[in-house]
Structure 1
Amino acid sequence: MTAPVCAVVLAAGGSRRLGRPKQLLPYAGTTLLGATLDTVRNQGFDQIIVTLGAFADGIVEQVDLRGVTVVRNDVHRSGCSSSIRRAVGVLDPAADGAVLLLGDQPGISRTAVRALLAAAPGTRLGAVRYRDGLGHPFWLGRSIFPDIEQLHGDKGVWKLIDAAGPALVTVDIDEDTPLDVDTEEDYRRLVERSAEVRLR
């Protein structure tokens, strides 16, 4: 049997730099998180886990979460490492690992996900190398889960990436890193880029 293919979408943050819930920003006829989940649903994952923390009640009311396993993280202020730990705890036990995505990054392409899934399963850690550097999605193999238990803060997984050396599996994608939203300027750029794509 083929192992299930699973995704973890991080969406528990408190939008400190933005000052309002970025998960609920209007985007592409839905919300920013809704658009990201639509993108992830179209990738054919067997299990999709989304972590919620700040603004969780509003997100549950306003975002379509059908077909998604929702994990609430009550200690989200400690950083996204805590959300990853919560998510892997409910991962399908038959899965080799999970693809890690950001809830504020709706532009992740099928090409990037498929390339990562073709190369990384069976390994500890993988990432996409875009034209402008490494970025999400990441592959977290089950063998690295004990290390994830020791992570803290928002950049914990990046510390694993930086320390992996030649053990890090990377796939090259001829695209720029998809925009993610941390500030109002990021949001404006994302909306403008989306409008440019629609006009092409």
Structure 2
Amino acid sequence: MSGQNKKISGIILAAGSASRMGKTKQLLPFGETTLLGRVIQNARDSRLHEIIVVLGHNAGKISRSIDFEGTRVTRNTAYANGQSTSLIKGVEAVSSDCDAAMFLLADQPLVTAAIINRLADAFETGTAPIVIPYCNGKRGNPVIIARPLFYRLASLSADTGARVLFEEFKDVILRVSVPDKAILVDVDTPADYQTLISKK
């Protein structure tokens, strides 16, 4: 399968408890919306085939506070067991006609539709089962993983995320240079948040 025939599902990982932040960071104000709201909007503005949002911690409050139109929300009740549980929950919700999943982080509001599309292009025009963005030699997010590797995601445990796959399949990963530090910027602490909004 090649080119524009490939369909990518966007999975926004938004289930974490943000223990280092001390509050529900998904709902922290960002511009005219929130951190998670901006991530969802950036995904909507891209050409992802579908958008799945994985909620967990404070899911009820987040659901009442954010516009999820055009997305599908799935709840991960086991979020306290680590990020792998959200990866698995997200993959389980991917439509059968999608060829891959792009994993977006709820605390990376600077990852624009243009960055998402750049990575999607790289996946669609290549044959690599994993696409990872790099900026200045540093690995960032979001990452694309093709459907043939979903079975490996399903076997992950604890808080490993997909990193174990990056080592296992390192010889077939497509590394995409993205000249934008947005792929490296996430918001884990109050200081991170202050830095983020001070640059807006």
User: What is the TM-score of this pair, normalised by structure 2?
Assistant: 0.91
- Bigger drift between 50-59 and 150-159 goes to 150-159
Could you say what secondary structure the match of 2:199 adopts?
helix
Q: Which of the residues 77, 93, 96 maps onto 1:93?
A: 96
Once residues 154 and 28 of structure 1 are traced to their aligned partners in structure 2, the CA distance between those partners, rounded to angstroms, is 31
Once residues 185 and 98 of structure 1 are traced to their aligned partners in structure 2, the CA distance between those partners, rounded to angstroms, is 31
Q: By how many angstroms is 1:178 displaced?
A: 4.2
In structure 2, relative to structure 1, the CA distance for the partners of 1:193 and 1:10 (3 Å cut) is: same
Q: By how many angstroms is 1:156 displaced?
A: 2.5
Give unpaired runs (5+ residues) of structure 2: none
Once residues 27 and 111 of structure 1 are traced to their aligned partners in structure 2, the CA distance between those partners, rounded to angstroms, is 19
Once residues 43 and 66 of structure 1 are traced to their aligned partners in structure 2, the CA distance between those partners, rounded to angstroms, is 15
Q: By how many angstroms is 1:58 displaced?
A: 0.4
* 1:1-200 superposed matches below 5 A: 2-121=5-124, 122-176=127-181, 177-194=183-200
Q: Which amino acid aligns with 2:16?
A: G
Once residues 76 and 140 of structure 2 are traced to their aligned partners in structure 1, the CA distance between those partners, rounded to angstroms, is 24
Aligned length: 194
Q: By how many angstroms is 1:164 displaced?
A: 2.3
Q: By how many angstroms is 1:4 displaced?
A: 2.9
In structure 2, relative to structure 1, the CA distance for the partners of 1:120 and 1:2 (3 Å cut) is: closer
User: What is the TM-score of this pair, normalised by structure 1?
Assistant: 0.91
Could you say what secondary structure the match of 2:164 adopts?
helix
Once residues 14 and 53 of structure 1 are traced to their aligned partners in structure 2, the CA distance between those partners, rounded to angstroms, is 8
